[in-house]
Amino acid sequence: MPDLDLTLPDGKLYEYLVERPAGVLVIVLIAVAVRWLVKRFIRRVVKKASQGSVPGVLANSKAGELLADLRPGASERRQQRARAIGDLLVSIATLAIITIAAVMVLDKLGFNIAPLLTGAGILGVALGFGAQTLVKDFIAGVFMILEDQYGVGDSIDLGHANGTVEAVGLRVTRMRDVNGTVWYVRNGEVVRVGNQSQNWARTVLDITVAYEADIDEVQRILAEEAHALWEDETYHGVIIEEPEVWGVERFSTDGVVVRVVLKTAPLKQWLVARAMRQRIKVRFDETGIRMP
């Protein structure tokens, strides 16, 4: 009765005891090596990116260097974040490598891995579609942080909301606006970022006076008031350049619009604007210039 012979068929032993264990070993070794390589690669790319050298190759970023000087501690904070992002990427890569190696080992041991691959494929597609916005948010967040577009305390405009940054996350940015409302904005939805607190700001005042007013006198008064503020001890370090009167900006339906500008320290533009408006109002009342 050879039919009931349950002993191992010929040649199986060599396969079971030599070929398969060896194959598994090699797979494990390669996986370890690849992980080491990938880790080093990610670390280097992220480090470079956090030092601004990747985009720097293509942009003559003198302004960027200046920026670094003006925000103390920004550099360290940036590198810290870059390291955290690098760790996250390494974790993801490790997970991927372990999974692939495990599947290859399964295959080496003689299992049909088609169901696993199909399952993974469906997962990939589902992830691709459903989590599209999630991935988009994360990628946008990673680049915002690496490019240091804004930091905690900056006053920014993200289009959907604006205010003072409270937290820069990978998926969302948290801000608080002037009314105390806390805004959570998904990073991937941000098309453009306006940062009002980098290096310097400028107070641009468009003052409308009636058509009857003497334009030369108006300009003289504006220049005097701006200069007085610039000389004022209180605004030392706040207004950082001699103010300028640029002239007639526009003929509006209400009157003639004259522009006066003052370069200020960041986040001081609104303070200076209010001080100027008060002075202008008082002076115009004195000299009888009418605002329509």
Residue 196 and residue 165: Cα distance in Å, rounded? Answer: 11
Check binding of 92 to a copy of itself (CB under 8 A). no
- Contacts with a copy of itself in 102-141 (CB under 8 A)? 103-104, 106-136, 139-140
| Contacting a copy of itself within 35-54 (CB under 8 A) | none
Number of shown-chain residues binding a copy of itself (CB under 8 A) = 139
Contact window for a copy of itself (CB under 8 A) among 221-229, 231-239, 253-261: 253-261
**Residue 186 backbone dihedrals phi, psi, to 5 degrees:** -70, 130
Which CB sits closer to a copy of itself, 18 or 32? 18
User: Is 21 a residue that touches a copy of itself (CB under 8 A)?
Assistant: no
Q: Which residues are registered as beta bridge partners of 205?
A: 260
Exactly one of 29, 32, 70, 215 binds a copy of itself (CB under 8 A); that residue is 215
HSE, CB side, 13 Å, CA atoms: give it for residue 75: 11
Question: Within 262-291, which residues bind a copy of itself (CB under 8 A)?
Answer: 263-264, 266, 269, 274-275, 277-278, 281-282, 290-291
Residue whose C-alpha is closest to residue 116's, from 97, 100, 131: 100
Residue identified by tokens 């334009």 is: 215
Q: Which stretch binds a copy of itself (CB under 8 A): 149-157, 222-230, 231-239?
A: 149-157
Minimum Å gap between C-beta 220 and a copy of itself is: 13
Which range touches a copy of itself (CB under 8 A), out of 184-192, 220-228, 229-237?
Answer: 184-192
Answer yes or no whether residue 76 interacts with a copy of itself by CB under 8 A. no
Q: Hey, is 151 helix, strand or coil?
A: coil
How many CB atoms neighbour CB 174 within 10 A? 16
Cβ atoms within 10 Å, residue 70 = 12
Q: Token digits for 186?
A: 């998904």
CB of 93 to a copy of itself, least distance (A): 11
To the nearest whole angstrom, how small is the minimum distance from the Cβ of residue 202 to a copy of itself? 4
**Calpha distance 29→51 (Å, rounded):** 34
CA torsion through residues 147, 150, 156, 158, sign: positive
Q: Should residue 29 be labelled a site residue for a copy of itself when binding is judged by CB under 8 A?
A: no
72 binds a copy of itself (CB under 8 A): no
Q: How far is CA 174 from CA 59, 78, 84, 153, 163, in A?
A: 29, 18, 19, 11, 9
